[in-house]
């Protein structure tokens, strides 16, 4: 860390400009993953695009790297030096019900968009937790709750506004800055600038047949084997995933789940209740059930499908894409992470891919991982004493499934720590990686963005 003179910066921006030790600094840099504690030289709480442009311009003058944080759900490494721009005050949410389009500021979480869109019978393509930020999620592709019906969230983006390294506010869409528009939609986390707002299409969904089924630990093998034969038979109207959960003993959890190892099946079906009941019957019959909440539900209740944690937690995760899920893969998963092994994992999740996820967007984009059969994610709590153990265990689960992995396919939002080891272009096949690197060099020749782990000088 070095001492920087922020007087000129504070004059140029309206939002807070804070340095380590200042009141409010710790709150300003905090995010969802409590294991990531940023150490920037200075943090700027941007209030509008002008603040972002001023902060980026000042950072260029000072030779400082620029990192950006919205909610902190997707931070993979702590910023060490440089400037951190926080976007949570960029909270514009506008919905045009006729065009079925939303425009949102870079600090908006999915919850606000879901509620605003629902007033018009519309829904966004959010993921499993509405506390996640719209921009970070979408820049990484965005695998929605309704993924197999509508594809990646990035496939529905119409325009992205961002401040590039030269301090210019640009608008990238199908007509203007087309290469940048291609890259931002799926590979935006590589760092092409600081996004200030994003526009995307909404879908006409008011309700769905959805929810979760929890099974006891004793049913793990029966349920996972039933899932591997059942899931590939589903139509594009159904999106599903299954998770092995080691749940904490907390009073806010329903009694049969507290402190238990459970198997959690998640369902989002858009073909109506009757068809949904028929579709789900084989899984309801696969084993005794602890809780079954699958029913017709309004889209605003979508968080109940995955029931993700909402409070900040220290965590480590990594994920790979599988090309298929044969019986041996399920056996390997149970051997590595099933109820009979003592491992400090909170979740091991398999999401069914395919359907609309496999098709390129109408305006092609840089989303990675199209064409995979399943996504596999391992996640563990980085509690004191587990800092070394959890990454090793997550790695061993992924290694156990390695023979079934899809070579060359990776989902940017779920790779987690693998991004750190493979480098920023590791999620893309070589042709796309080459094009991304050219676009990066054009818009950010000095490597100011996506490199928040260092100061450029000093
Ligand atoms: C509980 C939970 C559930 C999730 N569910 C899903 C899911 O269902 N589907 C899915 O696809 N992903 C999911 N994710 C992953 C999530 O999409 C990524 O972690 C995403 O990066 C979070 O974005 P954020 O803006 O909230 O996080 P942040 O940590 O604030 O940002 C993450 C990264 O996004 C980039 N970024 C953010 N804002 C900007 C900006 N304004 N300009 C430029 N770059 C920016 C930066 O690289 C930043 O480091 C989930 C994550 C969690 C923790």
Which residue's CA is the nearest one to ligand 1's atom 7? 127
Residue 211 has pLDDT above 50, yes or no: yes
Mutational test site, ligand 1, from 87, 132, 349, max ligand atoms within 8 Å of CB: 132
CATH of 7-86, one of 3.30.470.10, 3.30.465.10, 3.20.20.70, 3.30.43.10: 3.30.43.10
Residue 453 pLDDT > 70, yes or no?
no
Q: Is 156 in the pocket of ligand 1 (CB under 6 A)?
A: no
The per-residue pLDDT of the chain, averaged, comes to 95
Q: Is the beta carbon of 29 within 6 A of some atom in ligand 1?
A: no
Q: Does position 44 have pLDDT exceeding 50, yes or no?
A: yes
Residue spans per domain, the chain: 7-86, 93-204, 207-416
Same fold, 7-86 and 93-204: no
Strands ordered across the beta sheet of 157-163: 93-96, 101-105, 194-201, 157-163, 169-173
| CATH 3.40.50.170, domain 207-416, yes or no | no
Q: Which whole number is the average pLDDT over 413-419? A: 88
Residue nearest to atom 22 of ligand 1 (CA): 74
Distance 71 CA to ligand 1 centre (A): 8
Higher pLDDT, 316 or 452: 316
Residue 140 CA to ligand 1 centre (angstroms): 7
In this prediction, residue 458 has a pLDDT band, given cuts at 50, 70 and 90, of very low
Name the helix (H) or strand (E) containing 42.
strand 42-45
| Gap between the Cα atoms of 381 and 391, Å rounded | 10
pLDDT tens, residue by residue, 171-190: 999 999 999 999 999 999 99
Q: How far apart are CA 186 and CA 128, in angstroms?
A: 18
Q: Which residues pair with 161 in a beta bridge?
A: 171, 197
| pLDDT given for residue 367 in this prediction | 97
- C-alpha 113 to ligand 1 mean position (Å): 16
Let me know how long the chain is. Answer: 458
Q: How far is CA 279 from CA 210, 263, 297, 347, in A?
A: 12, 19, 17, 25
Q: Report the percent of the chain where pLDDT is more than 90.
A: 92
Distance from the CA of 76 to the center of ligand 1, in angstroms? 10
CATH assignment of 93-204, among 3.30.465.10, 3.40.190.10, 3.30.40.10, 3.40.50.300: 3.30.465.10
Is the CB of residue 133 below 6 angstroms from any atom belonging to ligand 1? yes
């Amino acid at each position: 860390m070095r001492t920087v003179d922020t007087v000129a910066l504070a004059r140029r921006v309206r939002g807070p400009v804070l340095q380590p030790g200042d009141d409010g600094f710790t709150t300003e840099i905090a995010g969802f993953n409590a294991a990531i504690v940023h150490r920037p030289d200075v943090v700027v709480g941007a209030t509008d695009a002008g603040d972002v442009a001023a902060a980026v311009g000042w950072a260029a003058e000072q030779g400082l790297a620029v990192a950006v944080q919205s909610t902190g759900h997707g931070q993979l490494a702590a910023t060490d030096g440089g400037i951190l721009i926080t976007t949570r005050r960029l909270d514009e949410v506008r919905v045009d019900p006729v065009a079925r389009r939303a425009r949102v500021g870079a600090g908006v979480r999915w919850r606000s968009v879901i509620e605003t869109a629902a007033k018009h019978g519309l829904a966004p393509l959010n993921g499993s937790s509405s506390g996640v930020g719209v921009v970070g999620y979408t820049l990484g592709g965005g695998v929605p709750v309704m993924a197999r019906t509508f594809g990646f969230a990035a496939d529905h983006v119409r325009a992205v506004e961002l401040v590039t390294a030269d301090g210019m506010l640009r608008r990238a869409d199908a007509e203007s800055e087309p290469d940048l528009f291609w890259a931002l939609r799926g590979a935006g986390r590589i760092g092409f600038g600081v996004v200030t707002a994003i526009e995307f299409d909404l879908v006409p969904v008011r309700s769905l047949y959805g929810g979760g089924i929890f099974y006891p630990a004793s049913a793990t093998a029966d349920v996972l084997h039933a899932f591997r034969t059942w899931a590939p038979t589903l139509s594009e109207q159904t999106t599903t995933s299954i998770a092995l959960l080691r749940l904490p003993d907390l009073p806010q959890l329903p009694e049969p789940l507290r402190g238990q190892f459970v198997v959690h099946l998640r369902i989002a079906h858009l073909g109506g209740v009757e068809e949904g009941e028929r579709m789900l019957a084989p899984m309801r019959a696969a084993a005794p059930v602890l809780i079954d909440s699958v029913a017709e539900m309004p889209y605003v209740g979508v968080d109940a499908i995955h029931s993700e944690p909402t409070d900040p937690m220290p965590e480590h995760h990594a994920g790979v894409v599988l090309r298929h899920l044969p019986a041996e893969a399920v056996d390997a998963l149970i051997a590595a992470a099933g109820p009979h092994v003592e491992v400090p994992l909170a979740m091991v999740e398999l999401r069914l891919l395919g359907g609309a996820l496999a098709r390129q967007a109408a305006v092609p984009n840089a989303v990675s991982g199209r064409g995979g059969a399943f996504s596999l994610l391992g996640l563990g709590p980085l509690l004191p004493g587990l800092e070394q153990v959890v990454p090793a265990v997550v790695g061993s689960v992924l290694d156990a499934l390695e023979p079934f992995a899809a070579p060359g396919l990776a989902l940017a939002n779920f790779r987690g720590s693998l991004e750190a080891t493979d480098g920023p272009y590791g999620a893309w096949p070589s042709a796309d990686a080459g094009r991304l690197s050219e676009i990066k060099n054009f818009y950010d020749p000095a490597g100011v963005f996506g490199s928040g782990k260092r100061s450029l000088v000093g």
